Chains A and B, each alone.
Chain A
Amino acid sequence: MNKKLIIGIALIAVFVVFGFLNFRKALTPYVSYREARSGGNVQVMGTLVQGSINYVTGEQTLYFIMKERDVNDTMTVAYRGRRPINFEEATSIVAIGSFDGHVFQARKLLVKCPSKYQGTVTQREFEGGK
């Protein structure tokens, strides 16, 4: 019984460590643009700079400039994948990804559009293509 218990606890402990490491790895903290530029898997929030949207069909990549809230800082974001619907009207954008030295490569976008609904689609999520 005791032997079994010890093995069990050991296995669970290994799993907890494994889970913790995965947790650390998958964590994407909200950071300022300045912090984002120092690299790492992060998420940044901001507003769309009007007229900055550029969809490059050949690369199937959406480029746009985001402005940090309450801070005078902007960042170019590249997003490979489907162009979010109603992107121009976004009141707030969350980009999840990492800075590659030139632009912020977003893997995922969370777009909030003005909507009268309190329900599910005040925000929409977009996952980068494979």
Chain B
Amino acid sequence: MAFGGYVIWVALLCEILSLLYYSINQKQLAQYSYIATTILGTVATIQLFYFFIVKDFSVEYVAAFCSRDLSLFYSISAFWAGQQGSFLLWLFFALIMGIFLFTIDERWKREVMIFYNVQVLALIILLLKQNPFNLSTLVPPDGTGLNPLLINPWMAIHPPMMFLGYAAYGVMFAFIIAALWKKDISTWVDVSIRWIVFAWLTLGIGIILGGYWAYETLGWGGYWGWDPVENASFIPWLFGTALLHGLAIQRIYKGFYRSNALLAIFSFLFIIYGTFLTRSGVLADFSVHSFVDLGITAWLVGILLIFLAGSIALYWLRRDIFPKGEPIKGLLRPPTLLAISVILLVLSGLVVAVGTSAPLITRIWSKPAQVDIPFYVNTQIPIYIVLLLVFTIFAYRKKFLPFVIVGSILVPAISYSLGVHNAVHLVLIALCTSTLVSQLGNKRAFFILIHSGVALFILGSIYATGYDKQVKLTLQQDMPVKVDDKYTITFRSFAPPSPQEKPVATLEVNDGRKTYVVKPKLWFNQKSNQLVANPHIRIHFAMDEYYVVHQYKPAVQPSGLLVMRKGETKDLGDVRLSFLGFKLDQSHMGNAGMMVRAVLAVDGDKGKLVMPAYELLPGGVVNKPEVDIPGHNAKVKLEAMDATTGTIHLNVISAQGVAQKATAVVEFTRVPLISIVWIGSILQILGCTVSLMFRHKKRVKATIQESSPQKEDKKKRRG
């Protein structure tokens, strides 16, 4: 074990000390111990980074994910390519975030830190069970290298975002448990709301980055596949969304106290549950991703059960502290609409959770089975139809009604004329439009951004996943192929642009107006034994063109005769020969025979010569040896020559069978309006960031004004 491994053991001790000191209310000592844990965790993190930067393959984990040819940037990002490193990163973020927790209100600090420390402790234990600092017994000369699919800038920042989100969800959990412990169910929100928004924001960014990466790298033209790994982070995100709406009810309309407590608890429990699903190997036969079980399954189950039992027991013990809450009145008023949103979002989350857990659930009564994608799509659609309706009503203002009506008739009508004939899709399109248009009546910037972002996301998804057009083409070199009377695609070549780079297929595309070149990659990764097809995407607002090359068959060189004069250049298949002149072989002088060589330059390169000989042996025997043509799978033979005219007859002999042009199998997909999906995502992120800043400002103002918060608290609790 490397130094970092021992550091984590010491960190464990410090962490336990911190927990103990907080428990006996020795805040100063506890804080010191926590800082010590953080420093140790940081040291371990830095050391692992260092091992990756210097490519120290004596560390097993580094050897598994790094290699000599990996650039510095990706060597660093290889840190979180595997399970051990990602747990260390998670721990690192959690520790740093804990330092920021020192700044919270003194009245909350002790309890929050206790329950936060419990999580940090669990993380350290998990990390010790799968230590990234184990040393190899035999140091390999080179590492296995980073999975080629992860060599992508989006994938380099996706995991850190996810783990930042996970760690922030932990803060939220610590707050709600502390609130239950302290029997103060009202004020915890004011102290923690920014943390909750931050957690929700980072997890959301992480999910979107993952989606964009999938679209850009994997070559299947989509961005979301309802895979357990994706779902595992989507469920807590949905619960977090529900919680934020529930908290709005709590803060403005004084209700939903119980539900919010449960939502906060379960948002975090679903993070652990997701970790269990994806890191334990229970879904090994059901997922594309599935991490291999590294022997932490039992620990994950144990931690999940402890957190579940502990928080539910505490909730039960505190069941009487919840204020009754004011009744929510009026069907179309904001509190009711918010309540409906919460219920819908919880339903959405639960449905995804049930679907993802299908192999575990079905195991109870029969063989484990998973559910297909249609399950998710069919069950989410009714939820989002109602949700979009709620969005529309929420922002509704009478003076904008005509716009809403016109918009939600016009956009589906246009879509219908463009080929969207599915009734459910048309309804969804109408509702997305009404949501968007009704935002005119909304006052808050972040509401407008987030809600129109969601509407755009759904709108884009309908077009992009429901109406993409895919064709698979087998293209012969230099033979144009027409697609839908609009595009003409010609496969020109397949080669690496430079010796260091990966091979790309060069396709010339004419879209009826202009001609351009696209270069999808297809390459074999020696280390992982995989063929990797990276798409080339031409991004347009209305429609992305998505090119993937799946297969390349090199040309089979034709055989044939070439008649050439001195100075001439001729092609046969891929072979280009230039006849430079004759060369008389001096060593044969004086013997009865003679030998003449034709000097030929290959592919126009005078440094690349081939010199087939014509040897006249005594007794009239002619020897015409076949010579390999450098760089080609063919030989050449000097069949005959005429010294007087300076003409030679060359026989080019292919080493392969029947001559054939090079072919490439290309998948060409037109993905309509996927741009809207990304724009919608960015709007949501922006909206969330705006709300975070807005809350920050408000908080600063509140601290300046110093309005005696304790009195207000008491009032709230009584009311």
Contact = CB atoms under 8 A, between A and B. Distances in A.
A27 B359 CA distance: 9
A22 to B, nearest CB: 5
A94 B369 CA distance: 12
A8 B529 CA distance: 55
B285 to A, nearest CB: 7
A118 B64 contact: yes
Contact of B382 (A15, A31, A110, A122): A15
Nearest to B329: A1
A120 interface: yes
A22 B530 contact: no
Contact of B528 (A23, A29, A121, A130): A121
B149 A120 contact: yes
Contacts of B150: 119-120
B-side interface size class:
35 or more
A29 B213 CA distance: 31
Nearest to A27: B369
B280 to A, nearest CB: 13
A19 B351 contact: yes
B289 interface: yes
Contact of A119 (B81, B371, B372): B81
A15 B530 contact: no
Interface stretch (B231-239, B360-368, B500-508, B625-633): B360-368
Nearest to A115: B528
A12 B375 contact: no
Interface string A97-130: 0000000000000100111111111111101011
Nearest to B551: A83
B63 to A, nearest CB: 10
A106 to B, nearest CB: 13
A15 B374 CA distance: 16
27 contacts: A12-B347, A15-B383, A19-B351, A19-B354, A23-B371, A26-B373, A27-B362, A31-B367, A43-B369, A83-B551, A85-B532, A86-B530, A89-B529, A113-B529, A115-B528, A118-B82, A118-B83, A118-B291, A118-B294, A119-B82, A119-B150, A121-B288, A121-B528, A122-B290, A123-B289, A123-B290, A129-B472
Contacts of B379: 18-19, 22
A113 B530 CA distance: 8
B81 A116 contact: no
Nearest to A118: B292
B331 interface: yes
A64 interface: no
Given A12-B347, A19-B351, A116 B527 contact: yes
A23 B288 contact: no
Contacts of B375: 22-23, 25-26
A30 B369 contact: yes
A119 B291 contact: yes
Contact of B354 (A18, A23, A25, A57): A23
Interface in A1-44: 1, 4, 8, 12, 15, 18-19, 22-23, 25-31, 41, 43
A8 B336 CA distance: 11
B355 A23 contact: yes
Given A27-B369, A30-B367, A119-B147, A57 B285 contact: no
Interface residues of A, number: 45
Interface string B433-471: 000000000000000000000000000000000000010
Contact of B64 (A12, A116, A122, A123): A116
- 8 shortest interchain CB distances as A-B pairs: A26-B375, A29-B369, A26-B371, A125-B288, A26-B372, A85-B531, A118-B292, A116-B144
B474 interface: yes
Given A23-B354, A29-B369, 16 more contacts: A15-B347, A18-B379, A26-B373, A27-B362, A27-B371, A28-B369, A28-B370, A83-B551, A85-B533, A85-B550, A96-B372, A114-B529, A116-B144, A116-B528, A118-B83, A118-B291
A63 B571 CA distance: 40
A57 B551 CA distance: 13
Contacts of B248: none
B372 A29 contact: no
Nearest to B227: A125
B510 interface: no
B667 A26 contact: no
A52 interface: no
A127 B220 contact: yes
Contacts of B289: 120, 123
